[in-house]
Structures are given as C-alpha cells and as structure tokens.
C-alpha cells in the first residue's frame, strides 16, 4: 500500500506521455487520484518514446481513473478548455504538475528565434497559463498543490550549451517562489522540484547516461502529498530526499 493516499483528489499532469510525466500520472493514479494528463498529441510524435494513449492504457490496466487530453498548453483558450473540462467532469482540481518542457542544447549564438520562442512558450508561458487557470479553482476549495519541475540549470550548474534553457527554469523558479507567498493564505502549496539527470527522451542527446526515470516516484509522491501547512515555497533537489527533506 503506498504511503501517500490521493483518493478523491484530481490531478493535472502535463507532458504525461512519457518520462517524468508518465511516472507522475501512474504514481498518482495507483494512489487513488483521478489523473488528467496532457501532451501535444494522443499518439507518438516523431522521435518520441511514448504516447499519451499508452500512459492512460497503463493507468486503466492497473484499475486507475483518468482522462487524456491532447492539445496545446501554450495558448489561453485550450488551457482554459482543459481546466473547464476537468472541473465539469470531476468537480475539482487538487494537484497541478507542470512537467512539460523542451531542452535544446545549443549555444546562445546558435539558438534560432523559433527555438527560443518555442522554449519560452512550453517552459514558461504554459506554466503561467495552467497555474493561472487552476488557482481560482483551488482557492474555492481552499486546497491545492502546484508543482513545477525544474532543473539545476536554473540555479547551480551552468553549462555553455544551455543558457536559454537555464533562463526558462530560472523564470519558473522565481515565479513559484513569489507565488507561494501570494497563495500562502489560500490553502495552496507551491513548490519546485529538481529531479536530477534522468534517462529520458529530453536527455537522450547528453554525453552521459542518467538514472532510470522510475527512481523519482517516491520523492515526487511525498512532495505532492504535502500541504501549505507542511511545505511551500521550496525548491528541493530529489537527491536530497530523505536527507534535508522528506524525512
């Protein structure tokens, strides 16, 4: 029996087709949550290693409940439609996992306008739109947890080929640090989590192997189970789970 019980909770997980997003969706579902998962497409995009459809087939096979919704999360209208559909079908939104991201490894002089615009849209604008959209729902409930998936690139590990990516993660980190203060009296926890280097599609182009993505589940589930009274406004490293946090 999992330590964390999310029975009756409704979670939105972005980038749920594979990697950390799939681990989040499956982990929450097997602990009782109803999971709404998003990705750009229901089925595979070129060069990707998983699909949204497969994630929710896995959830159903384990007896879980969920709803896959494919589409853009970088524009206001589809994001609001996602939130409205979630509330209409399930009545509430308790958890938001802002996981979707892109990570081009290029120098600042090699980054095109198009790559920069897409990265800002996915890594920053989508986070803002989804967070802005769920806050009124969570305020009405006086309960919620908003989690941002970040990176050491935004805080402590500079690399010559990730200046743009670091800028987007730094932006989200500061957004959430301030948002935690803004929402502290509304029953809404806001935290940032750095999972470390994992063997995901996003990291496939790195010259070194990451850890299996499944290793993130215990720390992510523990963190999502926290409330505003126990942890908010934190930027935590997964490798410190059980040492400086999660005890």
Residue 124 · residue 171 · CB < 8 Å: yes
Please choose, from the candidates 133, 168, 134, the residue with its C-alpha nearest in 3D space to the C-alpha of residue 150: 168
Spatial contact of 93 and 87, defined as CB atoms under 8 Å apart = yes
Dmax of the chain from CA atoms?
51
Selected catalytic residue, list 6, 165, 193, 245: 165
Structure tokens at 89: 């079908």
**Helix, strand, coil % (nearest 5) of the chain?**
45, 15, 40
Answer yes or no: are the C-beta atoms of 12 and 39 closer than 8 Å: no
CA dist., res. 50 & res. 57, Å (int): 12
181 vs 103: CA distance, rounded Å: 29
Q: Which candidate, 24, 33, 186, places its Cα nearest to that of 98?
A: 24
Q: Give the residue from 26, 94, 96 showing the smallest Cα distance to 64.
A: 26
Q: At what angle do helices 126-141 and 163-183 cross, to 10 degrees?
A: 20
CA distances in angstroms from 90 to 11, 85, 141, 232, listed in the order given? 10, 8, 13, 26
Please indicate whether residue 165 is annotated as part of the active site.
Answer: yes
Residue positions annotated with a catalytic role: 165
């Amino acid at each position: 029996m999992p330590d964390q019980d999310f029975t009756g909770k409704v979670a939105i997980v972005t980038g749920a087709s594979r990697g950390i997003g799939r681990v989040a969706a499956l982990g929450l579902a097997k602990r009782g949550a109803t999971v709404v998962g998003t990705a750009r497409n229901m089925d595979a995009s070129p060069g990707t290693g998983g699909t949204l459809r497969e994630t929710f087939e896995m959830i159903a096979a384990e007896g879980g409940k969920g709803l896959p919704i494919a589409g853009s999360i970088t524009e206001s209208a589809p994001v609001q439609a996602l939130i409205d559909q979630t509330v209409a079908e399930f009545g509430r939104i308790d958890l938001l996992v802002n996981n979707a991201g892109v990570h081009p490894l290029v120098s600042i002089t090699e980054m095109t306008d198009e790559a920069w615009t897409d990265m800002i849209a996915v890594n920053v604008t989508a986070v803002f739109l989804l967070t802005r959209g769920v806050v009124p729902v969570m305020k009405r409930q006086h309960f919620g947890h908003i989690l941002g998936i970040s990176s050491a690139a935004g805080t402590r590990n500079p690399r010559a080929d990730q200046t743009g990516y670091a800028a987007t993660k730094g932006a989200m980190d500061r957004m959430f640090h301030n948002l935690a203060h803004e929402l502290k009296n509304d029953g809404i926890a806001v935290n940032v989590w750095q999972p470390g280097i994992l063997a995901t599609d996003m990291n496939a182009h790195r010259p070194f192997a990451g850890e299996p993505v499944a290793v993130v589940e215990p720390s992510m589930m523990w963190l999502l189970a926290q409330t505003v009274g126990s942890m908010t406004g934190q930027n935590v490293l997964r490798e410190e789970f059980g040492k400086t946090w999660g005890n």
